[in-house]
A = this chain, B = another copy of it.
């Protein structure tokens, strides 16, 4: 829609967002978009300052933020190298489990246990799971790491008494699919998923090691067993600059 080439200044100075942070976000997006992929390093600070129409020191602040995220590494004389530039494609389809669709994109996949609680579920959870209002659910909280980098935090609700001890199985197996199997559920399918985006809150920033102001993609999903009973309600929040959600309808 814009007639200008992308060299123009895309900085908004009345937004309540510091210029260095806007530049850091632009650069992160450009890196993830592969703009500097060939060389593997950023243009010089002076060149970036000219490109964004700001002072060199402002660019330095942006680069410092990216360096503290582990995205780039600067060294005098050599320039600023790009460390991480891939965005994981997370499949969202009728039958995808966490690990199966990712194994070709990463070498090390973990789903770690954070906590588990037995508590009455909120109204929306009960509705999603077709439970009577106030029913007790087992709530399991997890963090998923890909090659050691946290990509998502999940809060999973399971109806009791059927899955009242699924957390024990999960802690042993580190897999929800296997934990289900240990509870007698051979297979399950995704019934629905709702996706929103917003700024990460304090807890999400801590678990996902996100910079303040970062964005999370939140998915609300319901899984059914093969008899059509709702067996899991999950709220998963992905670090949006590390993933893209890939929705497929083939399965």
Cβ of A1 under 8 Å from chain B: yes
Minimum C-beta distance from A14 to chain B (A) = 7
Closest to A21 in B: B16
Asked whether, in the complex, the Cβ of B65 is within 8 Å of the Cβ of A16, the reply is yes
The number of residues on chain A lying at the interface, defined by a beta carbon within 8 Å of a beta carbon of chain B, is 54
What 1/0 mask marks residues of chain A from 186 to 211 whose CB sits below 8 Å from any chain B CB?
00011111111111011100010001
Partner of A20, one of B16, B21, B249: B16
Asked whether, in the complex, the Cβ of B196 is within 8 Å of the Cβ of A247, the reply is no
What 1/0 mask marks residues of chain A from 41 to 61 whose CB sits below 8 Å from any chain B CB?
000000000000000000000
Minimum C-beta distance from A4 to chain B (A) = 10
Asked whether, in the complex, the Cβ of B199 is within 8 Å of the Cβ of A215, the reply is yes
The stretch of A104-112, A164-172, A173-181, A238-246 that contacts the partner chain: A238-246
Residues of the B chain whose Cβ atoms lie less than 8 Å from the Cβ of A17: 16-18, 21, 212-213
Interface centre among A14, A93, A190, A246 (most CB of B within 10 A): A246
Asked whether, in the complex, the Cβ of B191 is within 8 Å of the Cβ of A1, the reply is no
In the complex, besides A10-B202, A195-B247, A197-B240, 10 extra interface pairs with C-beta distance below 8 angstroms are A1-B115, A15-B211, A15-B212, A17-B17, A25-B198, A92-B195, A94-B249, A196-B217, A197-B215, A249-B249
The chain A residues found within 8 Å of chain B, CB to CB, are: 1-2, 10, 12, 14-18, 20-21, 24-25, 29, 65, 87, 89, 92-94, 114-115, 141, 189-199, 201-203, 207, 211-213, 215-217, 240-241, 243-250
